[in-house]
Amino acid sequence: MKLLKQFCTLLIVGLLVSACGAHYIENKKSKKEAPVRIANDSLAYEIIIIDPGFTAYLNAVALSEGYYNQRYLEARNRVWVTTWNQRVQNPREFRQDIYENIIAYRPTVNYGYEVNYKLFNYFLFAQRKYKMTLGGGFRADRIN
């Protein structure tokens, strides 16, 4: 588990550090913001998101915790992680500065509500920021 935690943390941090050069339209002023920590301490699992604008998105735009149940969030995350990982493996077709690293999300692991909620919202944020869709019949541009 410790190795999984380290791998996932490095993977996500590396991915998000590479995306720091992009700007977020709704966050026109460049403010330094605290990273968002996603963790399930009982599983020794942690992701730190440092993508500029995500904290503001999470606080102002994202639907409140509890709006979606954990099962729904897990279903979305499974689809989006699969799409994300496929794009990482096709660098000629997809931007390497966005899709840099594989995300180690295992559908059989119960990461808990908070991890799934924040990962789900990061995917929504990334879809808006980078003007992309990760599929699965869900369009991020239709969420308030």
144 residues of the chain, pLDDT tens digit each: 554 455 455 445 444 444 444 443 344 444 567 777 776 677 677 777 778 899 999 999 999 999 999 999 999 999 999 999 999 999 999 998 888 888 889 989 999 998 999 999 999 999 999 999 998 766 554 443
State how far Cα 37 lies from the chain centre: 11
pTM: 0.70
Dihedral sign of CA atoms 123, 7, 78, 48 in order:
negative
Rounded distance, CA 60 to CA 43, Å? 29
Considering its fold, how many domains does the chain have in total? Answer: 1
Whole-number Cα distances in Å, 28 to 22, 25, 83, 95, 142: 11, 6, 29, 23, 21
Instruction: Print the domain residue range for 48.
Output: 2-142
| Cα R_g (the chain), whole angstroms | 14
CA distances from 90 to 13, 17, 76, 130, 142 (A): 20, 20, 21, 17, 27
